[in-house]
Chain A
Amino acid sequence: MGKQATRITVNGKSHARVVEARLTLADFLRHELGLTGTHLGCEHGVCGACTVLVDGRSARSCLMFAVQANGCEVTTVEGLTPDGGLSVLQQAFIDNHGLQCGFCTPGMLITLTELLRDNAEPSEQEVREVLTGNLCRCTGYAGIVKAALDAAQRLRGGTPCLPSPASGAGK
């Protein structure tokens, strides 16, 4: 199986590895780097549990090979989490019961982090539409939608959502 040298910056830290070309980005994050916060729910790009930011844009890490992320900056749920605390969005998930089993949650947080970065005042309908790329079987979405709107409101008060905003400018 062909191997390739790959350098990926994940949550601000650069990782150089020689990996099989067929290794998915999700498996690279989970098993090569031990960043197991990114979850796999379907491995065919529908459920959204594996969503990460690649160069600031949300992407399915199950549908990308790690080598395709060569030279990219990747942000995972671990990268959304401030040292010793939680982000505004994460706290809003607690306050609004935005999670039950927690398996879809990392993907939800990534998708909503992107939304709130790009749209400071989303409507409920906009939140719901952006969440159609993330399936949740437990919550019926009500708490997630509420958490997103609550976080947006708190952020408009001035608290940043990403502890260190990922660059959207590309490589």
Chain B
Amino acid sequence: MMGAKHFGARVKRLEDPALLAGRGRFVDDLKLPGLLHACFVRSPHAHAMVGEIDSRAAMAMPGVHAVLTADDLPESMRRTPIPMLTPNPAITAARTQTVLARDEVHCVGQPIAVVIADSRYIAEDAAAAVTVNYDVLAAVADCRAAIKDGAPRAHSDLQSNVAARFPLAYGDIDAAFAGAAHVFEEAIWQHRGGGMALETRAVLASHDPVADVLTVWSGTQTPHLGRGMLADLLNRNIESIRMIAPDVGGGFGPKAIFYPEEAVIPAAALKLGRPVKWIEDRREHFLCATQERDQYWDMAIAVDDAGKILGLRGRMLHDSGAFLPWGIISPYIAAVTVPGPYVVPAYRIETVVVLTNKVPTTPVRGASRPQAVFAMERLLDHVARELRLDRAEVRRRNFIQPEQMPYAVGLLFRDGKPLVYDSGDYPKGQETALALAGYDSFRERQRAALDQGRLIGIGIGNYVEGTGLGPFEGVTVRVLPSGKVAVATGATNQGQGTRTTLSQIVAEQVGCRIEDIVMTIGDTGAIAQGVGAFASRQAVNAGCSAQLAGQAVRCQIIALAARALGVNESDIDLDDGHAIAATGNKPTMPLGELARLAQGIPGVSLPAGQAAGLEHTAYYTPPQAAYCSGTHVAEVEVDHMTGGVKILNYTVAHDSGRVINPLIVDGQVQGGVAHGIGNALLEWMRYDDNAQPLTTTFADYLLPMATDVPTCAIAHVETVNPLNPLGVKGAGEGGTIPAPAAIISAIEDALAPFNVHFAETPLTPERIVAALRAAGAYERLQSA
């Protein structure tokens, strides 16, 4: 961008000073007069019929205002399941939950009643005093068991636990396999983890009876979507509901879902005529916030003697948990992500989506792409091993070349459009990462380490990710008489620096100082339409809207200033909050003065062609997904006695198109890698055979710590997205996606002397030791 001051610069974040000073405004920081507090009564069983609910003891406790069950809710939400926003004809059991269960519960933690009291302490006491009779039913915990004949059914009225089954295919797969020199198979599984944002979910609702406005503050990624769901469930005029996502302490996907609590708390506030707040505790987050990654893949790859891919086929089982709040988005993304940056002439996969009695799975950072990339990269490592080729070389031989762009894979993406990669240079991405990682000299390092008795290994992971999905996002830009520039957007901020990024774009266009932008973000009261944060979509959708709205306002300002200063429009420049004429004695006008002028004079017509006010709203709608890509290289050390893994070096080459703010994009990549390290090595949400969750604290479920995550070496390989006005692609999830593939590959490489293979995540020390034991490693070491 010519003369860009802000776009592309490492602009320090506007969000930071308040958050650093302890002046953030998270939901639990908000206090309203007459505030009451809620605690939910939740099912302790994974599958049961709900019988009598006795709340008399709870109601008798001082400070308790109400105990509400489904029967106490408005008729419109009593038995109506939460709407599914992402329907798909492949879904045969479109199950979503009712906000409070009345008949049957399908997973531990499903809410049955809510206690409203003067304090959270009292509400928790009273919730423990509510007794519920259950008729416990057999539960199904494992999606492989769930599809067998005679398996318990997750929903007792369904004939099968299969919620959807969809085949995807292109090319002549049978011919590819029939004529192949080599066919290799892998059985792969990945276990579920959570988003585990540091701030748990949170809802505060307050009804103003004078204005008849229901205001809901929710720690959500999608306030506009949430408002729509709430309006349906309350059967209430959507214009009389305002949903606000204030500061939100991390999202990572699970907060994009509309949850029962977001309907029940507003219903309680309406019923009691008092503001009501609910703050999820961490145990509830483990029980009730959506999770992801449970998938089982049986895959086969057909290659020629040179290691060139001829075809890929297989089957994938996806554990959807008890409901499908986001339909089959995750398993669909998995199925279409497998081919990635490689030329795969023929592909066939059958995906089976299975209901179990566990918390639902929905997109978590990466949205099933980590699993798909893991499957593909494990297969390529297998090819390299069997054909005795270098792992980088196998990938090199199969990359889609930059001159093949745009590249049609042969599938439909989840945006309903053909899966066509808009741009990218995958060979360059890998070469950049390998050079930065010192890949060529690694074998020397490995030998030197081995001389010291240390086992180190290196691994590669490549991916392509469809980001920036529609339908749209909106941005309003309005110059205020004070000279400040008001910006409103339906995009939201859970730490991505959305405020900073959009401010950079608007300031560039309007010619104001970045600190003069006043942004309202995540507030349905500020802009009519909105979607929110998921699918690494905001830089593309909201970024382009900011650009378009900013450009429109820029034109308005220039037209008005030219008229006011009596010069040609082409002689007006905008800078530092002023319109400046390039001619004569270079007169200037501050933006605020122009904003007043644009209001007109009461009773006097505006000059022809002049808009009312300096204001524009743009809703950018992308023609298709924006395909970002990258290569990760992990270098690890494995302690073969303990199974402990230490990541020594981690390198990322990342193409997210044109970078708006490198500071922020690097932060997204680094943070995403940390999440991927958790998935690869640590995070394991365990359930027993009855679908009882076993890991419900941070002591049992391990998140990566500061000693687990190295500082990544990051290179940006920018290929400009030709399909949007900023040339950008998403950046929020790429850090996570190939990390398990690269790390597991590196572990396998480190343990190559023992010839052990891994096709699972998380790969914990006990499983590494078990594999070494099974391979006879310890006997060999003793006899050596």
Contact = CB atoms under 8 A, between A and B. Distances in A.
Given A34-B31, A42-B282, A46-B697, A141 B13 contact: no
B35 to A, nearest CB: 10
Contacts of B195: 137
Interface in A73-107: 76-78, 81, 86, 90, 93-95, 97, 99-106
Contacts of A145: 706, 711
A90 B20 CA distance: 6
B104 interface: no
B663 interface: yes
Contacts of A129: 706-707
Q: Give the residue among A22, A95, A142 with the most B Cβ atoms within 10 A.
A: A142
A6 to B, nearest CB: 16
Nearest to A136: B198
A103 B198 contact: yes
B19 A105 contact: yes
Contacts of B252: 137
Nearest to A89: B20
Interface string B732-765: 0001000000000000000000000000000000
Contact of A37 (B16, B24, B249, B675): B24
B128 to A, nearest CB: 14
A20 interface: yes
Nearest to A143: B667
A60 interface: no
Contact of A101 (B12, B250, B675): B250
Contacts of A135: 198, 698, 703, 705
Contacts of A141: 674, 705-706, 709, 711
B282 A41 contact: yes
B31 A97 contact: no
A104 B13 contact: no
A168 interface: no
B671 A103 contact: no
Interface in B658-706: 663-664, 666-667, 670-675, 697-699, 703-706
Contacts of A146: 711
B185 interface: no
Contacts of B250: 100-101, 103, 137-138
Nearest to B247: A102
A131 interface: yes
Given A93-B16, A137-B250, A43 B282 contact: yes
Contacts of A140: 670-675, 704, 709, 712, 735
Q: Give the residue among A37, A132, A140 with the most B Cβ atoms within 10 A.
A: A140
Contact of B198 (A43, A101, A128): A101
A39 interface: yes
Interface of B, secondary structure class, is: loop
A109 interface: yes
Nearest to B12: A94
Nearest to B664: A97
A162 interface: no
Interface size band for B: 35 or more
B697 to A, nearest CB: 5
Given A101-B250, A132-B706, A132-B707, A47 B198 contact: yes
Interface string B708-719: 010110000000
Contact of B698 (A31, A46, A95, A100): A46
A68 interface: no
B200 A97 contact: no
Nearest to A130: B706
A153 to B, nearest CB: 17
A86 to B, nearest CB: 6
A161 interface: no
Interface stretch (B72-80, B170-178, B494-502, B580-588): B494-502
Contact of B196 (A35, A102, A137): A137
A99 B711 contact: no
B199 A103 contact: yes
B416 interface: no
Q: Give the residue among B195, B281, B670 with the most A Cβ atoms within 10 A.
A: B670
Interface string B229-257: 00000000000000000011110100000
Contacts of A38: 22
A30 interface: yes
A135 B697 CA distance: 13
Interface size band for A: 35 or more
Nearest to A106: B22
B196 A37 contact: no
Contact of B21 (A44, A78, A97, A127): A78
Contact of A128 (B13, B31, B282, B707): B707
Nearest to A76: B22
B28 interface: yes
Contact of B670 (A42, A81, A131, A142): A142
Nearest to B706: A131
Nearest to B735: A140
A42 B675 contact: no
A139 interface: yes
A100 B12 contact: no
Contacts of A47: 198, 282, 698
Contacts of A78: 21-22
A116 interface: no
A49 interface: yes
A101 B282 contact: no
Interface string B173-200: 0000000000000000000000111111
Contacts of B664: 97
Contacts of A35: 22
A9 interface: no
A81 B26 CA distance: 19
Contacts of B20: 77, 81, 86, 90, 93-94, 99, 102, 105, 109
B52 interface: no
A70 interface: no
B663 A142 contact: no
A39 B19 CA distance: 11
A100 B667 contact: yes
A101 B494 CA distance: 5
B607 interface: no
A59 interface: no
A53 interface: no
B121 interface: yes
A13 B328 CA distance: 55
Given A101-B494, A132-B706, A44 B198 contact: no
B22 A144 contact: no
A102 B707 contact: no
Interface of B: 12-13, 15-17, 19-24, 26, 28-29, 31, 121, 195-200, 247-250, 252, 279, 281-282, 494-497, 663-664, 666-667, 670-675, 697-699, 703-707, 709, 711-712, 735
Q: Which 5 A-B pairs have the closest CB atoms?
A: A37-B22, A103-B249, A102-B19, A101-B495, A100-B495
10 contacts: A22-B121, A39-B26, A41-B249, A46-B698, A102-B247, A103-B250, A104-B198, A131-B705, A136-B198, A138-B671
Given A81-B22, A94-B17, A102-B16, 4 more contacts: A90-B21, A101-B197, A102-B15, A131-B706
